[in-house]
Amino acid sequence: MNLLRQDKTFRPVELFQRLEDFYTRWCRGEFIDAAPKDNLPQKKMTAMLAQNIAIGLRQVDIYTGLNVLILLLELHRYAQEQDKLQPQIAFYPSAKTDTDNFFTSQLLRIINYSDAIEIGNFSNIVGEFLKGCNFSGAYLGDANLTGVNFSGANLSGAYLGDANLTGANFSNANLTKVNFGDANLSSANFSGANLSSADLSSANFSGANLSSANLHRADLTSADFSSTNLQAADLSHTNLCSANLKNSDLSRANLTHAILFGANLSDANLSSINLSYADLCRADLSGTNLCQAILNGTNLSDTILFSTNLSEAILIAADLSYAKLNGAKLNYAKLNGAMFLGADLSGVDLSGVILNDADLSGVILNDAILSGADLTDAILLGTDLSYSNLSSANLSGSNLTGAILYGADLSHTNLSYAILSGADLSDANLEQMTWGEKQQWEDVKGLETAVNMPEALKQQLGLS
């Protein structure tokens, strides 16, 4: 192409028109099916055999057509760089879609024809020249396109279901409404690609790079994203039901309003991710890193969060009902107004957490670390806080009716205006605890065995 550009007699439009006409006729098999006297591949084969060059009829036809295709692809890219030529040179390798044909299959026939003499022949010869070209509406189902370069190409509305695209390059490509259902896309590069509203169900993306890709409203049900790079990707409003995201990197990704019911995100990196209003019911997030993640209004009910790092995460009004949180880290997380119905938080690190207005009724918090936590106006009806560390926590205005605080550390804790009716403080440490002047203590259990009770409170209760 560079040699042609340097030639003063180079007329790109005329060359394009002649080559496109040849390509269209070649795709129809016009040359190889011609009568012997007009059969160009046969004439060329005969001439080469006369020079002791062993070659078959199909090889001559295929290699001729593929080389013309490469020239057309190069001319197309050359024209796209010049405003004057763009309207005159626009190449569609699989033909242009019309109102009668939703998909075009011309390119698929060429791929299969080329691969008939050697598997992967098309990809090896033409694969690197596909970048930046227009394949919109092309039907490429079951095609073998391993390692091809579709970077910057337009594949909008194309069908590539069940295709083998291992190691393909789709960086910055237009893949809107493309169908990759059940395709093998392992180790492919989708960085910066637009996959909005695409069908990626059951596709294999293991080890692929989708950093900064746009997957808005895409269907990713049962897709395999294990060990995939999804950094800063837009996955908002996507359907990821039963998807495999194990060991994937989703740091800084946007999954707002995404559906991840039953998805596997174990050991994934979710730091600084936005999962606000996403549905993670019954998803597996064990061992994941959700440090500083945003999960406002997120449904985490019945979710597996074993050993999950949620430190400094924002979970305002999140639903953690019946969530499995054993070994999780929630220190300094913001959980204002969050729901924990039936959740098991025993032994969980909740130091410095913000839980004001949160509903922790009936939650298991025995042995939990809540030192320095903000539990103002929290609802803790019947909550098990036995042996928990609540030192320097703020429980002012909270409702601790029937709560179990047996052996809990309440040193330096603020219990002003808290409701303690029926609460059990047996063996609790009350050192330098703060309480309200009008605090009701009549129904509180175990005060006689509480330790380090402030002298003023002893006098108030007549225990000194």
Half-sphere exposure of 372 (CA within 13 A, CB side): 10
Phi-psi category of 265—alpha, beta or left, where left has phi over 0 and alpha has psi -120 to 50? alpha
Percentage of the chain lying above the pLDDT 70 cut: 97
- Cα 285 from Cα 287, distance rounded (Å): 6
Cα–Cα distance list, 43 to 18, 34, 102, 324, 392 (Å): 21, 11, 38, 75, 93
Where is pLDDT greater, at 329 or 39? 329
User: Collapsing DSSP states into helix, strand and coil, what is residue 42?
Assistant: helix
Residue showing tokens 């959700």: 290
Structural tokens at position 147: 């390692």
Sign of CA dihedral 112, 113, 115, 121: negative
- How far is 294 from 280, CA to CA, in rounded Å? 13
Q: What is the mean pLDDT of residues 415-436?
A: 96
At 136, the pLDDT band (50, 70, 90 cuts) reads very high
- What are the tens digits of pLDDT across the range 3-15? 666 666 778 899 9
- pLDDT of residue 100 exceeding 80, the answer is no
Alpha carbons within 13 angstroms on the beta-carbon side of residue 57 total 10
The alpha helices in 81-155, defined as continuous H runs, are 106-115, 121-126
Q: Is 189 helix (H, G, I), strand (E, B) or coil?
A: strand
What percent of the chain shows pLDDT beyond 90? Answer: 82
The answer on pLDDT for 297 being more than 90 is yes
Contact call for residues 79 and 88 (beta carbons, < 8 A): yes
Name the 3-class secondary structure at 249. Answer: strand
Euclidean distance between the first and the last CA atom of the chain, given in angstroms as a whole number: 99
- Mean residue pLDDT across the chain: 94
pLDDT at position 449: 95
**Beta carbons of 46 and 40 less than 8 angstroms apart:** no
C-beta separation of 157 from 175 below 8 A: no
